[in-house]
Amino acid sequence: MPWRAANTDALPTYWNPIMNRLNAEKFPVAPGSEEYTRVEKAFMLTHDDPSRDLKRTQFTIQSVERIQNMDLWNSYVAKRKSICGRKSPKDAQSLVRNWLFHGCSGVVTDKIVQQGFNRSFCGKNATMYGKGVYFARDASYSTYPLYSQRDANDVQSIFLARVVVGEYCRGVKDALTPAERDATTHALYDSTVDDPQNPNIFVTYKDGQAYPEYLVKFKQDGNPPPPPNCKPAHPDYRPNVFSQCELLERSLAIDERTYGRDHPEVAITLTRIGTAYGQLGDHAKARDVLERALAINERVYGRDHPQVATTLFNLGVAHGALGDMSKQRELLERVLPILTRAYGTDHPHTKMCQRSLAKLASSS
């Protein structure tokens, strides 16, 4: 697919074409796809909890749907730009969470899909940290049946939301707004939390602070005890599953403006972006980005430069992850003589390429 200039305000690349810009649409996410696996991993991460006798095997996902709502997306992007504009691109990453979880009853899911997280829905379960919209860091908190009520078929509902939490403070019971963060300007904090040092719960107060990206329908066996407060984050928890990619894409936009689209510095950033998408599991995106980096490097350095070999190797990994082992082998067979000439047969990079080719040969 053709490369599009990096733009963090653009629609996510994995969205379907927008056919109806006026009303929300829901698209089923195919089980086994990279997108489904990303959502499933985030959902299941905290569902092994011995303190609550909770196990992942108790949870069965019934469906995952991606929500595409242009009005809500545009509102979210505008609010994110407003809040994150206070910080540098790097520091602004701490102001966003992708994702937080919001459990609810099945009867309000369609309203949230169309209208977003309206504060008129809040307060049904608690207003301990303010009268706003409540989100949890851990899915295991929101899947507690008090927050995501079972329907007549025992199916529960939970949203995975992109949330611009901004700067936050400890919440106050029944408060209508957060406290002031600047006494001079009377500017308020953006959100409230249960514990500013270890937030498990986030409460937002403005429309546009959250975008409901996925709706997961699931069943769970048994009736777990209530989730604890102020629980430490899971060791594998990441506040923003897209953070590294988004930060690098911001850097790419700066590099392109500074050096031009075909400069070797742009190729270096593209290679880093490709690696980040590969780690995220979006190998198709990694492949597309690395192909552009390869074209730049070949023009600048020629076909047999070590810098080209690095890009070829990473591109081969992306093709292999997508199931195209013959293409991966073809690319690595280009890499090996380049590395051998540049570094010799005993260099770690050369040996790594040799091992990768041997592994491909043994699996064919």
Domain with CATH 1.25.40.10 in the chain: 245-363
Domain with CATH 3.90.228.10 in the chain: 25-241
Give me the pLDDT at residue 122, please.
Answer: 57
| Global pTM value | 0.70
Closest CA to 5 of 341, 270, 221: 270
Tell me the C-alpha distance between 25 and 135, whole Å: 23
The CA–CA distances, whole Å, from 264 to 237, 244, 299 equal 34, 21, 9
- The total of other beta-carbon atoms located within 10 Å of residue 37's CB is 13
Tell me the C-alpha distance between 170 and 126, whole Å: 15
CATH architecture of residue range(s) 245-363: Alpha Horseshoe (1.25)
pLDDT in tens, the chain (364 residues): 222 333 445 677 688 887 777 889 999 999 998 789 989 999 999 999 998 999 999 999 999 999 999 999 999 999 998 998 888 766 777 899 989 999 999 999 999 999 999 887 655 666 899 999 999 999 999 999 999 999 999 999 999 999 999 999 999 999 999 999 999 999 999 999 999 999 999 999 998 999 999 999 999 999 999 998 888 898 888 887 666 777 788 788 888 999 999 999 999 999 989 988 886 677 888 999 999 999 999 999 999 999 999 999 999 999 998 999 999 999 999 999 999 999 999 998 999 999 999 999 998 7
CATH architecture of residue range(s) 25-241: Alpha-Beta Complex (3.90)
